[in-house]
Amino acid sequence: MYTFCVTYHVAVTYEDVPLDSAADLVDVTSAISASPRRVYIPRGGPLQFAYAVNPQDGSPVDVTSAISGAIAAHRLSGYPGEYTLMASGGMLHVVPAAAEGKDGERREISALMNESFTLPSERVTQVGPVLRAVLRAAGKSRGRQIVLASPLPHQFEETPFPMESRPLSARDWVSKALAAGGLEMSWLLLYDATFDNYVFTLYPI
């Protein structure tokens, strides 16, 4: 998804399913020298799907159709989790819809970034603190920490954010923060099975 979005400059976010089933994980500890703990990665592999492209530049004729094709191909591959596509905040979002639990049984799930909440009632703060507050609140709602993959852009620490008093989903809080930040960016929320947490990554589009 990252390669697709960066190549074609489209705003599509992605959230991993939580990988609670041992059958969905691969132990790669032996391939990592001096690891102090067992290291796991998702079971996966190549994913192929077709979509119509513009002859001038090779970009997708229909981004929504292309992403839907990727989701369908993933479902047929047997790789962990099931996903669906939704739109909000002027962006497309690939969100988890079902996954296997620790007992190996498939169950429908609600995306972590669907969690809805209010933030402290200050009328204006900065984009950086808002993003960190959103990730803390979203992670707390599921009992899992969300960590930043890298520091936020410096200007986010200085750019004002007009706070709202109504509850929003974590996804919509992030969309509003990125819009206020003035940079064309999208994000990935990746599950880290080794530490049982999530890693939030921003990237330019």
Tell me the average pLDDT across 144-161.
95
Residue with tokens 């191909």: 73
Tell me the average pLDDT across 9-27.
91
CA 139 to chain centre: 13
Q: The pTM is what?
A: 0.91
| Residue 90: predicted pLDDT | 81
Residue with tokens 């989903």: 169
Domain segments of the chain as ranges: 2-204
Helix crossing, 127-142 with 170-181: angle to 10°? Answer: 170
Compute the distance between CA of residue 142 and CA of residue 132 in angstroms, rounded to an integer.
16
CA nearest to 160, candidates 113, 120, 122: 122
Half-sphere exposure of 68 (CA within 13 A, CB side): 7
CA nearest to 109, candidates 45, 186, 9, 17: 17
Strand residue runs (E) in 71-182: 82-88, 91-100, 106-108, 116-117, 124-126, 146-148, 160-162, 168-169
Which tens digit of pLDDT belongs to each residue from 175-188? Answer: 999 999 999 999 99
Half-sphere exposure of 175 (CA within 13 A, CB side): 18
Which tens digit of pLDDT belongs to each residue from 44-94? Answer: 999 899 999 999 988 899 999 999 999 999 999 999 999 999 998 788 999
Amino acid in the structure at residue 75: R
Compute the distance between CA of residue 79 and CA of residue 25 in angstroms, rounded to an integer.
10
CA nearest to 20, candidates 202, 143, 138: 143
| Residue 37: predicted pLDDT | 83
Which tens digit of pLDDT belongs to each residue from 122-139? Answer: 666 899 999 999 999 999
